[in-house]
A and B are shown apart, each in its own frame.
Chain A
């Protein structure tokens, strides 16, 4: 029982993959290395899909066009007028979080299991939301948005600057961590075929849902900041 618990606790930590021998050793965690792998995969995918673009698209170009069209339509429906700069961000974030969550299916620890990765994603989304608010309304307009519905709600609006990214971060982290723990326990208890069926729910379904929720919530908050 103790060996089981120690093994599980060992898997929950963020392991250091290697150390760059510069400036007294910079430790590189495992999630960063897996992120590099995902970046390489997505860049290669993009290069393959956009090689030799033709007017009548071939199969790879058709998939890429469908995806871009879907993201553009979603951004236009949610944001309204100033949708163009944001579509690329939502598509990239969706692709990265989707790949990061689904990579657990192949036995690699998902990078979103690391709290630092989800915190970085949440900070990026927060910078986007409040940056959009100040960019499209000016400095005074941005400050005015904090008293927008009623001046009585100003403390809540100020608190939401911290609470919204925090909830985005913890939602993604908690879901991925919970799925990971349950899958590890199942793999320890029942070897061979059964983990595959349950992995369909925990890894695939949950991962895709969390991707959709993260992107949709960021789009929703941005729409609130832009109006």
Chain B
């Protein structure tokens, strides 16, 4: 029972990633709308930023899986 609660709390890190990537994409679309010639560079920065932000959500997933698998 406590294993399930622990794993559920671990996966809550997804909230941070969702909000962060949403904000970043909003600013990126603003920037592209303002200056379409720089669209390539902005897209590249957005991709890198999203992958880095996604990593924290993935850490939560890995901890959740490890809790389910390794906690007796």
Interface residues of A (CB under 8 A from B): 9, 12, 167, 170-171, 173-175, 177-178, 181, 209-210, 212-213, 216-217
Contacts and interface: CB of A to CB of B under 8 A. Distances in A.
B55 A167 contact: yes
B48 interface: yes
B61 A174 contact: yes
B71 to A, nearest CB: 14
B51 A174 contact: no
Given A9-B69, A170-B55, A212 B47 contact: yes
Contacts of A12: 65, 69
Residue among B47, B51, B59 with the most chain A CB within 10 A? Answer: B51
Contacts of B55: 167, 170-171, 174
A174 B62 contact: yes
B59 to A, nearest CB: 6
Contacts of B58: 170-171, 174-175, 178
A72 B66 CA distance: 40
Contacts of A181: 65
Contacts of A216: 48
A216 B51 CA distance: 11
Interface of B: 47-48, 51-52, 54-55, 58-59, 61-62, 65, 69
Contacts of A212: 47, 51
A170 B59 contact: yes
A178 B61 contact: yes
A178 B64 CA distance: 11
8 closest Cβ pairs, A-B complex: A174-B58, A213-B51, A171-B55, A174-B62, A178-B61, A175-B58, A174-B61, A170-B59
A12 B65 CA distance: 10
B69 A209 contact: no
Contacts of A210: 51
Contacts of B61: 174, 177-178
